[in-house]
């Protein structure tokens, strides 16, 4: 302990007041406690059950002793009359104390010439300087005034306080009581409580055990966005586990999402505004993707409003993996690579890809900060940061319940066809699904009508598909096609006369017809 601290500790020990002179904040009667309880009711608590926790604590809390006898801290800069015990209340004296704090910091109180602070109107023989410090919770609880209001203006309160569940007893409560007593309201609109990070085996992290997971080590080995994605993917209202196995799953999810952006950047490399196609002219598949975008927009807004970031992240990754990569991209890659640049189907596809890109990169930017910036700058190097963009504008009119029901049936049948093809691929009877010839019998009229509304061989990425709806039960038969393969698009089509020759479409594209 340095010399000045030793002197201060000595002063503090000599000036410890009796228990009845400790500085307290009373919660008795219908005053402060009632105001605080009303403020709790008017505040949004996330999760909702946390309101009961803080309410019960405030209801049963005794008076708050806000003075502490410590060798360091923020002093309670008061003078007490040695005989009456009354605090000195004098604006001129207070202005001298404030000036001293401005010039020398809070420690100026401990080293001050207290007679000079008192001035000629009072004698140090009559008044004793208090050497107690403020309770640290009172100190931190004042941030609503000295941080929020000092920066943003008088009577401004925070939108959100965020801390662990232990702060219902600490910072959340001290801030509430101070603001309720001085402002008559809570210092925050909402309070979010999170759990704590445990090691991979569910144990509390401890230096003595040696099981501390260092965030900087995770960032060094995996990147900051992997750590951010893991945090956003957890049910953080409860305690969560982190370890190599957990992060491996997050890394895999991140890689798939990054691959989605890589595909979008490649597919949109030379996209121009004049290529856009009106939604009314688009095929059903493209309009279904726009329907899903409108659905997802509503879900993400609700998740963000509820601070449900795990729901938010899961919805984005499911859309990217299941709706885009495994379905939409898979089906339309043939049109992207093989159709003529001006063909309506290809234009519709790239128009939707552009809309998807603009939405997806903004949606992920709060979670994958660095990846989103990298993706945005790759496409728009002169457009500034993605983090200066606003929430994407998604047309709610794109939602179409009938279209969605139709495509739900189409995807269900496609899944069954894909599963039936897989054993033949595994046994090397066929290579890609394009070599498959499918005979399909459907017992359900709705499913039969759904696949009749589209080119189902294109949806299933097979060479031939013959469907019938006259069966008593569903049946799928797979065989290898006998057709020849187009040398450009690799589809097996009846007009291809020999392997390697061009189909009618590819011949037209290659020869400009």
- Average pLDDT on 113-129 reads 93
Confidence at residue 4, expressed as pLDDT on a 0 to 100 scale: 39
pLDDT at 274 over 70: yes
Q: What's the rounded mean pLDDT across residues 220-236?
A: 90
Sheet hosting strand 464-468, strand order edge to edge: 464-468, 436-441, 475-480
pLDDT tier for residue 116 given thresholds of 50, 70 and 90:
very high
User: What pLDDT, on a 0 to 100 scale, did the predictor assign at position 446?
Assistant: 79
Token readout for 42 is 């008017």
| pLDDT score for 14 | 38
Helix (H, G, I), strand (E, B) or coil at 441: strand
Give the C-alpha separation, 231 to 225, whole Å: 10
Distance CA 124, CA 88 (A): 12
Given a cut of 50, whether residue 21 has pLDDT beyond it is: no
Closest C-alpha to 284, from 185, 228, 352, 212: 352
In terms of pLDDT, which residue wins out, 12 or 239?
239
- pLDDT above 50 (res 3): no
pLDDT band at 235 (very low <50, low <70, confident <90, very high): confident
Instruction: Find the mean pLDDT for residues 81-95.
Output: 93
Residue 427: Cβ-neighbour burial (10 angstroms; 0-12, 13-18, 19+): exposed
pLDDT of residue 328: 97
Express each pLDDT in 25-62 by its tens digit.
Answer: 677 656 888 999 999 999 999 999 999 999 999 988 88
Strand, coil or helix: what is 204? strand
What pLDDT does 471 receive?
62
Provide the pLDDT confidence category of residue 12 given band limits of 50, 70 and 90.
very low
Mean pLDDT of the chain: 89
Q: Is the pLDDT of residue 197 over 90?
A: no
Length of the chain, in residues: 513
pLDDT digits (tens, 9 = 90+) for 310-353: 999 999 999 999 999 999 999 999 999 999 999 999 999 999 99
On whether the CB atoms of residues 481 and 461 are closer than 8 A, the answer is no
Percent of the chain with pLDDT over 90: 69
| Confidence class for position 9, pLDDT limits 50, 70, 90 | very low
**pLDDT tens sequence across 452-486:** 889 999 999 999 998 886 667 789 999 999 999 99
Name the residue with higher pLDDT: 71 or 425: 425
pTM: 0.81
Confidence of residue 207 (pLDDT cuts 50, 70, 90): confident
The 10s digit of each residue's pLDDT in 399-415 is 999 999 999 999 999 99
B/e letters for 188-226, b = 16+ CB within 10 Å, e = fewer, are: beebbbbeebbbeeeeeeeeeeeeebeeeebeeebbbbb
DSSP assignment of 342-382: T-HHHHHHHHHHHHHHHHHHHHHTTTSHHHHHHHHHHH-TT
Cα–Cα distance for residue pair 58/64, rounded to 1 Å: 11
């Amino acid at each position: 302990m340095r010399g000045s601290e030793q002197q201060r500790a000595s002063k503090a020990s000599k000036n410890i007041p009796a228990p009845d002179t400790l500085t307290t904040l009373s919660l008795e009667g219908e005053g402060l406690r009632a105001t605080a309880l009303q403020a709790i009711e008017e505040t949004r608590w996330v999760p909702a059950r946390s309101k009961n926790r803080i309410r019960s604590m405030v209801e049963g809390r005794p008076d708050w002793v806000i003075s502490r006898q410590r060798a360091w801290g923020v002093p309670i800069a008061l003078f007490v009359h040695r005989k009456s015990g009354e605090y000195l209340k004098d604006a001129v004296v207070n202005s001298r104390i404030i000036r001293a704090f401005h010039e020398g910091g809070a420690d100026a109180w401990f080293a001050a010439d207290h007679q000079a602070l008192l001035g000629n109107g009072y004698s140090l023989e009559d008044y004793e300087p208090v050497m107690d410090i403020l309770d640290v919770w009172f100190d931190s609880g004042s941030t609503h005034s000295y941080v929020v209001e000092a920066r943003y203006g008088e009577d401004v309160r925070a939108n959100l306080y965020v801390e662990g569940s232990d702060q219902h007893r600490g910072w959340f409560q001290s801030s509430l009581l101070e603001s309720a007593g001085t402002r008559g309201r809570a210092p925050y609109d909402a309070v979010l409580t999170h759990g704590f990070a445990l090691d991979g085996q569910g144990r509390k992290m401890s230096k003595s055990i040696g099981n501390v997971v260092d965030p900087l080590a995770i960032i060094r080995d995996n990147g900051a966005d992997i750590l951010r994605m893991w945090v956003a993917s957890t049910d953080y209202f409860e305690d969560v586990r982190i370890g190599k196995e957990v992060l491996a799953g997050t890394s895999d999810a991140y890689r798939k999402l990054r691959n989605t952006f890589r595909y979008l950047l490649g597919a949109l490399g030379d996209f121009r505004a004049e290529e856009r196609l009106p939604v009314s002219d688009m095929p059903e598949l493209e309009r279904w993707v726009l329907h899903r975008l409108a659905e997802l927009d509503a879900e993400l807004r609700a998740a963000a409003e509820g601070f449900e970031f795990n729901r938010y992240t899961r919805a984005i990754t499911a859309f990217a993996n299941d709706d885009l990569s495994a379905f939409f991209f898979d089906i339309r890659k043939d049109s992207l690579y093989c159709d003529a640049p001006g063909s309506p189907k290809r234009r519709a596809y790239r128009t939707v890809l552009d809309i998807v890109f603009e939405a997806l990169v903004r949606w992920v930017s709060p979670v994958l900060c660095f990846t989103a910036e990298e993706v945005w700058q790759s496409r728009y190097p002169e457009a500034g940061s993605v983090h200066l963009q606003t929430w994407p504008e998604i047309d709610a009119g794109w939602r179409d319940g009938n279209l969605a029901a139709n495509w739900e049936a189409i995807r269900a049948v496609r899944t069954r066809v894909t599963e039936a093809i897989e054993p033949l691929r595994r046994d090397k009877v066929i290579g890609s699904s394009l070599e498959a010839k499918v005979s399909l019998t459907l017992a359900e009229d709705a499913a039969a009508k759904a696949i009749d509304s589209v080119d189902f061989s294109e949806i299933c990425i097979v060479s031939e598909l013959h469907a019938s709806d006259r069966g008593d039960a569903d049946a799928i038969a797979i065989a290898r096609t006998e057709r020849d393969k187009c040398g450009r698009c690799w589809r097996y089509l009846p007009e291809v006369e020999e392997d390697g020759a061009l189909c009618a479409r590819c011949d037209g594209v290659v020869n400009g017809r």
